[in-house]
Amino acid sequence: MSTPALGRIIMWTSRPKGRNEDSVREWRMKGAGGEAAYGSRVALVTGANRGLGLETCRQLLARGLRVVMTGRNEDATKQALRGIGQTREGGKAIALRLDVTDPASIEAARGAAEEQLGAIDVLVNNAALLLFEDGDVLSIPKEGFQRTLETNLLGVIETCRVFVPPMAARGHGRVVNVSSGVGQLAKLSTYAPAYAISKVALNALTRILSETYRDRGVLVNAVNPGWVRTDMGGPEAPRSVEQGVDTAVWLATLPDDGPSGAFFRDRQRIEW
Ligand SMILES: NC(=O)c1ccc[n+]([C@@H]2O[C@H](COP(=O)([O-])OP(=O)(O)OC[C@H]3O[C@@H](n4cnc5c(N)ncnc54)[C@H](OP(=O)(O)O)[C@@H]3O)[C@@H](O)[C@H]2O)c1
């Protein structure tokens, strides 16, 4: 092992323990509410043409943010934009093609978004696939894991690669990774193994990204929306999309002293 690598490990392990817990606690004690001061910021949401992504856009727009709705199908995303309208003065939404598995489309979306609305302050990594829901872990073909991880994990990494460093350079940003209770390591079951593994990995990414950008004004958190009535969740799910996105919208509009590197459900911190 080279000396610089060892140096990094020593620096990391010597960090004060429990820093994430402390930041959440301090922030709660201060009673910071978020949202209020967030109008005029620019938010980009992936997988925004339907489901939780679409409702996230609707609620961010209603709070006065400018919103970049993105989807891998441009027509469907433009149709979704027409559906939500421009609901509040100051708020504005546009629709762009962005396939999280196509890095060129992410770069192109960044250029178009910056030209039309300005630099991205908030990134909501919402797009995901749920494949082989009922399969036994070893019955899922390699391609099933590859497709799942390509979208749910690598797609988030590639999207962050484009949008997060510019946030850090400006000293301000919010990243919300839409995870799942299915990816809660403490409660793993045999349900949807490829999807569950992708969400566990997404949670790991959340913590690493949070640590990487902790001192540069970028707050990175993961959210479990609960079981929600969408195409993915199905009609039997107990939660509405409005309930499902509440915590993601809250995390997207945190004040500067808000938490980072944590996993939330219903605005409460949950274990990984
Ligand atoms: N619904 C639930 O009960 C539930 C529970 C826990 C977590 N979640 C999470 O919540 C998020 C949203 O889920 P949802 O219920 O709204 O699911 P959904 O209705 O199936 O929507 C998924 C969205 O992801 C998009 N997408 C898939 N692959 C993409 C790609 N390569 N590039 C860009 N967009 C892509 C889809 O676009 P297309 O229309 O083009 O396919 C669609 O817009 C996901 O991260 C999911 O894991 C949902």
Residue 180 has pLDDT above 50, yes or no: yes
Residue 164 has pLDDT above 90, yes or no: yes
Report the CATH number at residue 132.
3.40.50.720
Residue 4 has pLDDT above 50, yes or no: no
User: Is 5 within the bounds of a domain?
Assistant: no
- pLDDT per residue as tens digits for the range 52-98: 999 999 999 999 999 999 999 999 999 999 998 765 555 699 999 99
Could you give the maximum distance between any two Cα atoms of the chain, in Å?
57
User: Is 265 within the bounds of a domain?
Assistant: yes
Cα of 125 vs its chain's centroid, Å:
3
Distance 62 CA to ligand 1 centre (A): 21
Question: What is the C-alpha separation between 236 and 233, in angstroms, rounded?
Answer: 8
- Give, for ligand 1, the residue of 68, 69, 72, 242 to mutate: max count of ligand atoms closer than 8 Å to Cβ: 72
Going by C-alpha positions, the residue among 128, 247, 254 that lies closest to residue 194 is 128
Lookup: tokens for 124: 């909501």
Q: C-alpha distances in angstroms, 260 versus 13, 133, 233?
A: 18, 31, 27
The predicted model scores a pTM of 0.89
User: Is 175 within the bounds of a domain?
Assistant: yes
Contact 272, 184 (CB under 8 A): yes
Mean pLDDT (the chain) is: 88
pLDDT of residue 90: 54
Residue 159 has pLDDT above 70, yes or no: yes
User: Is 23 within the bounds of a domain?
Assistant: no
User: Is 228 within the bounds of a domain?
Assistant: yes
Lookup: tokens for 209: 């990204």
| C-beta 232 within 6 A of ligand 1 | yes
pLDDT of residue 107: 98
Report residue 168's pLDDT band, with 50, 70 and 90 as the boundaries: very high
**Number of domains the chain contains:** 1
| C-beta 27 within 6 A of ligand 1 | no
| C-beta 53 within 6 A of ligand 1 | yes
Give the rounded percent of residues in the chain with a pLDDT score beyond 70. 83
User: Is 231 within the bounds of a domain?
Assistant: yes
- pLDDT per residue as tens digits for the range 210-240: 999 999 999 999 999 999 999 999 999 999 9
Across 106-144, b (16+ Cβ under 10 Å) vs e yields: beebbebbeeebebbbbbbbbbbbbbbeeeeeeebeeeb
pLDDT of residue 26: 37
Active site (annotated) includes residue 195: yes
Residue 131 has pLDDT above 60, yes or no: yes
Distance 231 CA to ligand 1 centre (A): 8
User: Is 140 within the bounds of a domain?
Assistant: yes
- pLDDT per residue as tens digits for the range 6-60: 222 222 222 333 334 444 433 433 333 444 456 689 999 999 999 999 999 999 9
Question: What is the C-alpha separation between 244 and 96, in angstroms, rounded?
Answer: 24
User: Is 104 within the bounds of a domain?
Assistant: yes
Lookup: tokens for 174: 């919010």
Q: In which domain, by residue range, is 114 found?
A: 36-270
Residue 256 has pLDDT above 70, yes or no: yes
Q: Please name the residue whose Cα sits nearest to atom 47 of ligand 1.
A: 128
Residue 187 has pLDDT above 50, yes or no: yes
Question: What is the C-alpha separation between 241 and 44, in angstroms, rounded?
Answer: 18
pLDDT of residue 28: 39
